[in-house]
Amino acid sequence: MCLLCDRPFQASSSWYDVVLRKFPPVICERCRESFEAAEPNDDVEALFTYNDAMKHYIERYKFGKDVALAEVFRSDIYEALRNRRETIVAVPLHRERLHERTFSQVHCLLEAAHIPYANILKKVVHDQQSKKTLAERQNNKNRFLLQGEICIQGQEFIIVDDIYTTGATVGEIKNILLSHGATKVSSFVLAKVKSNKNYLV
């Protein structure tokens, strides 16, 4: 059954898929085609554009707490990140938000794709982006701190988040890492909001 529309579909894996660690599909082709591939962007590497299908997916996955949906894009995430040599950093939730939601959507996306990541960040401000204006999002500051023993000096990092709206979150984290000696910091997201859209995420 398709995890998104509940329609039956045939999903099979060959020994070749197993050897290459390819994941069997969990959604049907019709649902798959409803997602729009993102255009290349200098600011962030995004897999998809935040269209209506992605909005519905995020609502079910993140806000509806349907953790099984972390598997929907695991093949895409795996293929995009499996050969990267940079240290992958997942954008964390504040501990109160994690308690409310019961899971971290970004961490679960990476774990479903079998992508290792480093827990070097702690969110210290309990806020909700969807309740902020554009100006308030762009002026977000001092929401994250470094934690743990990982060496930042001379290292390269990829910041991973689910949705990219204004770039304020990844921008703040990028500045933190660079100020502690990182030589390069890039970002990777599941979906990027088009500049002319006004979705709340």
Q: pLDDT tens across 21-58, in order?
A: 578 889 999 999 999 999 988 889 999 999 999 999 99
pTM of the model: 0.86
**pLDDT value of residue 18:** 47
Task: Report d(CA 36, CA 56) in Å as an integer.
Answer: 13
Please determine, for residue 12, whether its predicted confidence score (pLDDT) is greater than 70.
no
In degrees, to the nearest 5, what angle opens at C-alpha 37 toward C-alphas 98 and 168? 45
Note every long-range contact of 17-25, with CB atoms under 8 Å and residues 24 or more positions apart, other chains counting. 21/78, 21/114, 22/75, 23/71, 23/74, 23/75, 23/78, 23/113, 25/75
Task: Report d(CA 14, CA 16) in Å as an integer.
Answer: 5
Confidence of residue 196 (pLDDT cuts 50, 70, 90): low
Task: Report d(CA 60, CA 55) in Å as an integer.
Answer: 9
Helix (H) or strand (E) holding 199, with range, is none
In degrees, to the nearest 5, what angle opens at C-alpha 38 toward C-alphas 37 and 40? 130
Please determine, for residue 126, whether its predicted confidence score (pLDDT) is greater than 80.
no
